[in-house]
Amino acid sequence: MNYLAWNRPPSLPALARAVAQHPKPLHLVVCLPDNALPVFVPSETPSPQESALSQAIGSKLGCIQFNAANALYDILPGVHLWLMPSETACRLGEHFPQPVQWQTEAVPQLPPSDVKPWFKPPEHRTATRAIVIGAGIAGAATARALAQHGLPVTVLEAAEPANAASGNRQGLLYAKISPHNTEQTELLLCGYGHTRRLLDALLPAQENWGGSGVLHLNHNDEETRRNLALSAQTHHAHLYRPVCAETASQLAGIPLTQSALYWPQGVWLNPPALINALLDHPLIELHTRTPALAAEYRNGVWQVETAAQTFYGSHIVYCMGAHSPLAAAADVSALPYRLIRGQTDLAA
pLDDT-based confidence at 326, cuts 50/70/90? low
pLDDT in tens, 235-250: 899 999 999 999 999 9
Q: How far apart are CA 78 and CA 26, in angstroms?
A: 6
Write down the pLDDT at residue 192: 95
- Res. 198: pLDDT tops 90: yes
Q: Which residue has the higher pLDDT, 227 or 335?
A: 227
pLDDT of residue 274: 95
The CATH number of the domain covering residues in 130-166+273-334: 3.50.50.60
Q: How far apart are the first and last CA of the chain?
A: 54
| Residues carrying CATH 3.50.50.60, the chain | 130-166+273-334
Average pLDDT in the 178-185 region? 88
**Is residue 347 scored above 70 in pLDDT?**
no
Sign of CA dihedral 173, 209, 130, 161: positive
Q: According to the model, what pLDDT value does residue 118 have?
A: 74
Across all residues in the chain, what is the average pLDDT? 90
> Is 258's pLDDT higher than 60?
yes
Q: What is the mean pLDDT of residues 37-63?
A: 92
- Predicted TM-score (pTM) of the model is 0.86
- Flag whether pLDDT at 328 surpasses 60: no
Contacts of 200 (CB under 8 A, 6+ apart): 59, 60
**pLDDT per residue as tens digits for the range 58-103:** 989 999 999 999 999 999 999 999 999 998 999 999 899 899 999 9
Residue 258 burial class via C-beta count within 10 angstroms: exposed 0-12, middle 13-18, buried 19 and up: middle
